[in-house]
């Protein structure tokens, strides 16, 4: 009996509490930088596309909303010929970001991309590509990977020694 009255009294005291509601359109909530929102494709610090069209994101995607086609340019760099994300399917799980070996595909704290037309939710590569490096400002895949591209031969990558001539007898 007493606990019932105590419960009612506690609820009455809630009259003076701060209201937790965030009045959304007028007042935006704080979202941490790692919030999983709209997906973008980032570029490396030199401005080249980070995506190497490895298909890992498309394979990891549980709802199959990512479609792409690999291609290779004259420098030997792989890139996606097209890259398409169907946001009407995307569940914002972030598996694509985790699968990506080059930090190219990233989720951003933007969530306000509602559309009246369902087809407008299919984003093409030019909609997805941003001009910056996103969450990893210094990372440049082709500078680190051992892959040869024009302007960077074998053994010239960062953290990489020049190739050893295995037929030489010199120490």
Partner 1 sequence: MIIFRHLVIVIGVFGAALSVSAGLVWLERRLLALWQDRYGPNRVGHFGLLQVVADGIKMFFKEDWIPPFADRPVFVIAPMLLLVTVLMPFAVIGFAPEIVVADLNIGLLFFLAMSALSVYGIVLGGWASNNKYALLGAVRAAAQMLSYEVFMGLSLMGVVILAGSFNLSEIVDAQKGMWNCIPQFLGLVLFTIAGFAETHRMPFDLPEAEAELVAGYHTEYSGMKFGLFFVGEYLGVTMISAMIVTLFFGGWLGPFLPPVAWFALKTFIFICGFILVRAALPRPRYDQLMGYAWKVLLPLALLNILVTGAIVLAVH
Considering only 7, 62, 132, 146, the residue that binds partner 1 (CB under 8 A) is: 7
Residue 167 binds to partner 1 (criterion: CB under 8 A):
no
Stretch that binds partner 1, among 17-25, 37-45, 108-116, 160-168 (CB under 8 A): 17-25
Residue 21 binds to partner 1 (criterion: CB under 8 A):
yes
Is the separation of the CB atoms in 69 and 53 below 8 Å?
Answer: yes
CB of 116 to partner 1, least distance (A): 21
Alpha-carbon Rg of the chain, whole angstroms?
Answer: 24
* Residue number with CB closer to partner 1 (19 or 167): 19
Residue 59 binds to partner 1 (criterion: CB under 8 A):
no
Considering only 15, 117, 131, 168, the residue that binds partner 1 (CB under 8 A) is: 15
Residue 148, φ and ψ in degrees, nearest 5: -85, 130
Among the listed residues 134, 132, 146, the one whose alpha carbon sits nearest the alpha carbon of residue 47 = 132
Considering only 11, 164, 166, 169, the residue that binds partner 1 (CB under 8 A) is: 11
Is the separation of the CB atoms in 37 and 114 below 8 Å?
Answer: no
Size of the residue set binding partner 1 (CB under 8 A): 14
């Amino acid at each position: 009996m007493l606990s019932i009255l105590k419960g009612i009294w506690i609820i009455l005291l809630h009259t003076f509490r701060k209201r937790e509601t965030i009045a959304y359109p007028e007042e935006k909530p704080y979202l941490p930088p790692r919030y999983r929102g709209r997906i973008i494709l980032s570029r490396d610090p030199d401005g080249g596309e980070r995506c190497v069209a490895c298909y890992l994101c498309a394979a990891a995607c549980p709802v199959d909303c990512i479609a792409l086609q690999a291609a290779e340019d004259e420098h030997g760099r792989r890139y996606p010929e097209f890259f398409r994300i169907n946001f009407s399917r995307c569940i914002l799980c972030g598996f694509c970001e985790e699968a990506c070996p080059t930090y190219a595909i990233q989720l951003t704290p933007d969530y306000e991309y509602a559309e009246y037309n369902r087809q407008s939710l299919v984003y093409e590569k030019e909609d997805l590509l941003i001009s910056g490096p996103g969450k990893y400002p210094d990372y440049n895949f082709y500078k680190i990977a051992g892959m040869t591209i024009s302007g960077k031969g074998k053994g010239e990558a960062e953290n990489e020694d020049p190739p050893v001539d295995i037929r030489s007898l010199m120490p």
